[in-house]
Amino acid sequence: QQQVKQSPQSLIVQKGGISIINCAYENTAFDYFPWYQQFPGKGPALLIAIRPDVSEKKEGRFTISFNKSAKQFSLHIMDSQPGDSATYFCAAHSGNTPLVFGKGTRLSVIA
Amino acid sequence: DARVTQTPRHKVTEMGQEVTMRCQPILGHNTVFWYRQTMMQGLELLAYFRNRAPLDDSGMPKDRFSAEMPDATLATLKIQPSEPRDSAVYFCASGLVSYGYTFGSGTRLTVV
């Protein structure tokens, strides 16, 4: 119930391409779905988040797509850049549950 | 920018010693998490506080770990006695319920 399953574990994308990372959850009580970006030696940093009342949220090159019926959400990075190379974590949370993280996806954007 | 401050940034200690990690949450945040990050396990929740009260510490080995919030400006995580398998990066995060949580820079613990 508390798990968030994230895929793929690692991803290599050409510069300018689209990076897609997927997550699935079980607990329908979750009401907040953030994505975090982590660079080596740093703490995770909030990138973008969505609530289940909308199906998509876009901030710059980053878009979250949310499918409530399938209990899935995904991060799309458009026009991927080498500076986007990092580890990305999806997470889920509600007022009564802790912030639960996926296992992470290591993204490498190559020129 | 408001930030979560963790001290120390690095700690090397001998097996059996007590380790105390400290976290200063962002002023006004009512929720504090402690996570441990390793390559194998990813981000594991250790403890979770709301308004300084512990809500969930089921992920924490109770025989050696303890977490407290003596006041709203300080959260502590103690390990006594420490073991080599405790070597990891420990993160504190603070925020408001169901809003963005801000992570500190972490404490990298090495137990030899």
Tokens for B80? 């006594």
Locate the DSSP E strands across A1-111: 4-7, 10-14, 19-25, 33-38, 45-50, 56-59, 62-67, 72-77, 86-94, 97-101, 105-110
Tokens for A58? 């876009």
Residue type, A44: P
> pLDDT for A33-67, tens place per residue?
999 999 999 999 999 999 999 999 999 999 999 99
Chain A nearest-CA residue for B5? A43
> pLDDT for B87-99, tens place per residue?
999 999 999 876 7
Residue A1 has pLDDT above 70, yes or no: no
Mean pLDDT of chain B: 94
CB contact under 8 A, A44 and B55: no
CB contact under 8 A, A100 and B91: no
List the single best residue of B40, B41, B103 to mutate versus A (max A Cβ within 10 A): B103
User: How many Å lie between the alpha carbon of A94 and the closest alpha carbon of chain B?
Assistant: 6
pLDDT at A38: 97
Task: Determine contact, residues A109/A82, Cβ cutoff 8 Å.
Answer: yes
Residue matched to tokens 């402690």: B34
CA dist A5 and A80 (Å) reads 23
pLDDT band with cut points at 50, 70 and 90 for residue B110: very high
Which of B4, B42, B55 is the closest to A101 by Cβ? B42
